[in-house]
Amino acid sequence: MSILGLKKKQPKTFKVKVSTMDAEMEFSCEVKWKGKDLFDLVCRTIGLRETWFFGLRYTVKDTYAWLKPDKRVLDQEVPKDSPITFHFLAKFFPEKVEDELVQEITQHLFFLQVKKQILDEEIFCSPEASVLLASYAVQAKYGDYDPNFHKPGFLAQDELLPKRVLMQYQMTPDMWEEKITAWYAEHRNITRDEAEMEYLKIAQDLDMYGVSYFSITQNKRDTELLLGVDAQGLHIYNPNNKLSPNKSFPWSGIRNISYSEKEFTIKPLDKKKEVFKFYSSQLRVNKLILQLCIGNHDLFMRRRKVDSIEVQQMKAQAKEEKARKKVERQILAREKQMREEAERAKEEMERRMFQLQDEARMANEALLRSEETADLLAEKAQIAEEEAKLLAHKAAEAEQERQRLEVTALKTKEEKRLMEQKMREAEQLAVKLVEQSERRLKEADHLKQDLNEAKDAERRAKQKLLEITKTTYPLIAAYSNPPPPAGPESPEMAIEMGNPIQMDFKDSDMKRLSMEIERERLEYMEKSKHLQDQLKELKSEIESLKLEEQQQAGVYNLRSYAEPPFIPPSNRNSAYMAQMAFYEEV
């Protein structure tokens, strides 16, 4: 390579920024590039093949213009800014979107542009149609409605309705969202491209869809009108009504369109009809109108011809792509369904596992509680068994005690009966003893009486003896004993002195009386001793029974029975003792 070739200057370039409906791109373009070169670069970049619908639009002063493909970029009236800004937009609109739009990218760009025109109120849309279109836009953006994921308020950041519709009704954003969500929930299993196509199908029936409006005048008196250019033809509107045209010229009924500076002429195909003329004040606008008319007419004629090989290939590829995507969607739907079923089964298994874990935990807790309860019951059973044994032992002891008490009661009754019998015998004996005592007292009284009589007789005998002695032995008496003092003992002394005489005087009577008294005294002493022994034995038995009854808690109160009256022997024998003393003295 020569040195001159190395030093060759690089071509000059300029910066271009192209904004599509969903992206911005910057390119470095050569100075010699024409509009077609830049347009083809953009189409290749975004993968667009249906290029005849689109163009690069730029702003010139108060209006806009489309970049001409057969003229260099810099030679046109483009802005002198760096980078130069272009908008990649749909220049022409199809008559039937489902038949003419083949590629998904084409469909998507149309969807975004039409949606923006509706929200910016460049296309009039009723409130009902706006809500329905918004629901398809939500379906295209978010996919199928899921109440678990799409919570209330998930559309708060999205612009879905025109401001005119929002201001027309006194409804809160939440109420609008509720209406949109109600429609959105019905679009289940609709893919993004299908939702966008449904959106465009509804939008293409709107009156202002695909219409480009221009201000014109019909005559020199400057009667203001609006010219509408779309895929169907040309339409004349009143300035205040863009929905219903006053006149329409379909492309099939137009023979020729021409303009000379500011004047436009529309020649109908039917020569009998009047030629329509209108005026436009700006030459740039006139050129734009002519471009749109030529482009829409060409597309109109193209739709009525057999598709070119390129279009047929594109449609075949699009059909294959749609079939492939449909199969993929079906597979994806099946996989999604299977995944959802698997997730549901997994959730069910997890729920069941958690439930089983809870049941196992509860069963373990119940088992622990049952084991604790079993241990407690076993302990209680052991305690109860021990208590039962203790109670059985106590019951046996109580039974033995009851039997012993019954035996004791029987024995006590028998002893009581015997004791009562003995007490009755003792009472009878006591009564007999009292009777005998009384009888002995009476006998003692008789004996005392007899003794007094005997003493009287003895005294009389002593007096007689003294009288005899005084007369017979006066000297012996005087010599032997001086005269005793006066007192009660003097007769006794006289008796002692005359004892041989007394013994000689009544010897047989005194012996008999002394023997009888001694015999009775001995008998009475023997009976008295025997009675005292019986009384002592009875008293000891009574005391032993009292002690035994008090120890067995079945005490019989024997104190109510009075002991037989005990007459002291000294009182009983006092008479006998007096008699004995007297006889001993004698």
Residue list for the binding site: 68-71, 287
Quickly list H helices, 85-238.
97-100, 104-119, 127-142, 163-168, 173-184, 192-203
At 54, give phi and psi (nearest 5°): -115, 170
| Beta strands across the sheet bearing 263-268 | 247-250, 233-237, 224-229, 212-217, 276-279, 263-268, 254-260
Separation between Cα atoms, residue 313 and residue 499, nearest integer Å: 201
SS3 189: coil
Each as own residue / partner, the long-range contacts of residues 44-48 (CB below 8 Å, 24 or more positions apart, any chain) are 46/20, 46/88, 46/105, 47/103, 47/105, 48/103, 48/105, 48/106, 48/109
Residue written as token pair 């863009």: 242
> Other C-beta atoms within 10 Å of 216: how many?
22
Residue 81: both structure tokens together = 């800014």
Strand partners, 34: 72
At 72, give phi and psi (nearest 5°): -60, 150
SS3 214: strand
Strand partners, 90: 54
Question: Which amino acid type is present at position 531?
Answer: L
484 upstream amide cis, omega within 30 of 0: no
Each as own residue / partner, the long-range contacts of residues 44-50 (CB below 8 Å, 24 or more positions apart, any chain) are 46/20, 46/88, 46/105, 47/103, 47/105, 48/103, 48/105, 48/106, 48/109, 49/102, 49/103, 49/106, 49/314, 50/101, 50/102, 50/103, 50/106, 50/314
DSSP code of residue 53: G
